[in-house]
Amino acid sequence: MRLDVVFGAPSLAAGELAGRVVAVIDVLRASTTIATALANGARSIVPLESSDEVVLRSKQFERREVKLAGERRMLPVPGFDLGNSPREYTREAVEGRTILFSTTNGTPALLATQGARDVIVASYVNLKASLAFLRAAARGGADVSIICAGRERHFALEDAACAGRLVRGLMRRRPDVVLNDAAQASVLLDRRYGERLDLLFADAVHGRALAEAGFAADLDACAAVDACSVVAVYYDRQITKLGPGWER
């Protein structure tokens, strides 16, 4: 079994994800927000390339059915219902709604996963559920890729450390796992920070930027390990919760 970590979707080679099971990570904050929205009853999240596309796609729905959501440079898009703070995605705000969602880093990474067999969205808040899904795929013989969205197309410490936590979980009792260099580096980062996600976010450029922009409380939400017991599956251009109602 091959287990690769990729630092940034732009570094993906053509066809690299073909037939693979993929986890996309954007800890600060899109992955956390997506898991939170699904845990609080959102019907689905539709990742889109731009805020203009969000507005255009919304015309296909009754206005009460959807929430326009996303950010640019950490800040909510003017005129949208929601930004990219997981604290906004309460049950009252999102239950039963389709979320049309565009962010700086997370949604482009998701849109770059064409050709993958299965794609999930992972973060610290749904770590255990995501790991269980990836372990099941590995037992079935699938190769796994973990894509770290990063920050503005660059390496992000928090995404790599979260990837390392998943890699370590997948390595347990699997002597046949072959890691690429990025996966090995991610494991070292997870060992460095462990459960001290407060230190991880304090060291991460994006964590400091969010705190300076007034989103320090979001860092606590993003550090709530296993707060959302959902597997967020990206299939047929939308993200839904894995469960009895999910069909591949």
3-state secondary structure 60-92: CCCHHHEEEEEEECCEECCCCCECCCHHHCCHH
- Using the predicted structure, report yes or no on whether residue 184 has a pLDDT greater than 70: yes
With bands split at pLDDT 50, 70 and 90, how would you rate the model's confidence at 244? low
Q: Which residue has the tokens 């019907």?
A: 43
Residues 6+ apart with CB under 8 A from 107: 30, 47, 48, 49, 70, 101
Higher model confidence: residue 207 or residue 11? 207
The whole-chain average pLDDT of the chain stands at 95
Domain 2-33+104-239 bears CATH identifier 2.60.120.460: no
Strand-pair category, 98-102 with 75-76: unpaired
Whole-prediction pTM value? 0.96
User: What residue ranges do the domains of the chain occupy?
Assistant: 2-33+104-239
Residue 73 has pLDDT above 70, yes or no: yes
